[in-house]
Chain A
Amino acid sequence: EPEVTQTPSHQVTQMGQEVILRCVPISNHLYFYWYRQILGQKVEFLVSFYNNEISEKSEIFDDQFSVERPDGSNFTLKIRSTKLEDSAMYFCASSVGSNQPQHFGDGTRLSIL
């Protein structure tokens, strides 16, 4: 069964450094998403991406965050200058349509030191 894959599984970064999280969505899906889950808290929406542009973003997704689909298969989340509070699990998801189920990867655990 096709799945969303994310790399790396764990990323450790010094505060203030830039980090790029990578995702390969399911191949025939058109909508792409990033969520985060701080330990013990809810899964929180960050951003959705369709037709090569951001279609919706939350208040968490400020100027320090950006997303890109650099080629036909990858979808990335960049955090320009990481803060301690960015430590979380980051999940990528994709869906075939805008109101269709979103399928999630297993996440990247980001630890900021």
Chain B
Amino acid sequence: EDQVTQSPEALRLQEGESSSLNCSYTVSGLRGLFWYRQDPGKGPEFLFTLYSAGEEKEKERLKATLTKKESFLHITAPKPEDSATYLCAVASSGGYQKVTFGIGTKLQVIP
């Protein structure tokens, strides 16, 4: 069974204080790893897809990286508007289109 573990569960940063969120996964063949942002009362908003170890994607202050066992979401000089829950999800060769989500990391950026 596919498993996704995210850490930490919650993170509080000062504005401008860079940090990283971790996503560890166990799958029977990775077809894709996805990062989403979820604001309270909203649906997950797509950020990045990573398909193979060594791949990196960047968007504004966010950078996602992938190894064979984990992914990191690096946040550089965060702003208060980056406050949200960040979700990691995997698609494996064991599932046709099913995506398995982690519990998420709730990020709070304080001005």
Which one, B32, B43, B95, contacts A104 given CB within 8 A? B43
A56 cross-chain contacts in B, Cβ below 8 A: 95-98
Inter-chain CB contacts under 8 Å: number: 56
Contact B43 A48 (CB under 8 A): no
B99 cross-chain contacts in A, Cβ below 8 A: 45, 102
In the assembly, what is the distance between CA of A105 and CA of B4, in Å?
22
For A33, the closest partner residue in chain B by CB is B97
From residue B36, how far is it (CB to closest CB) to chain A in Å?
A: 8
Contact B43 A107 (CB under 8 A): yes
In the assembly, what is the distance between CA of A101 and CA of B46, in Å?
7
For A100, the closest partner residue in chain B by CB is B49
From residue A29, how far is it (CB to closest CB) to chain B in Å?
A: 12
Contact A43 B91 (CB under 8 A): no
A42 cross-chain contacts in B, Cβ below 8 A: 101-104
Closest 5 pairs (CB-CB, A-B): A104-B43, A48-B97, A43-B101, A56-B96, A45-B98
In the assembly, what is the distance between CA of A44 and CA of B43, in Å?
13
In the assembly, what is the distance between CA of A103 and CA of B36, in Å?
10
In the assembly, what is the distance between CA of A26 and CA of B72, in Å?
29
Q: How many chain-B residues does the 8 Å CB contact rule pick out?
A: 24
**Interface residue? B34 (CB, 8 A):** yes
Q: How many chain-A residues does the 8 Å CB contact rule pick out?
A: 26
From residue A40, how far is it (CB to closest CB) to chain B in Å?
A: 9
**Interface residue? B80 (CB, 8 A):** no
**Interface residue? B8 (CB, 8 A):** no
A-contact 0/1 string along B36-80, CB 8 Å cutoff: 100001111110010000000000000000000000000000000
A58 cross-chain contacts in B, Cβ below 8 A: 98
In the assembly, what is the distance between CA of A55 and CA of B98, in Å?
10
B-contact 0/1 string along A102-113, CB 8 Å cutoff: 111111000000
Contact A104 B97 (CB under 8 A): no
In the assembly, what is the distance between CA of A102 and CA of B46, in Å?
7
In the assembly, what is the distance between CA of A105 and CA of B49, in Å?
18
Interface residues of A in 30-57 (CB under 8 A from B): 31, 33, 41-45, 48, 50, 55-56
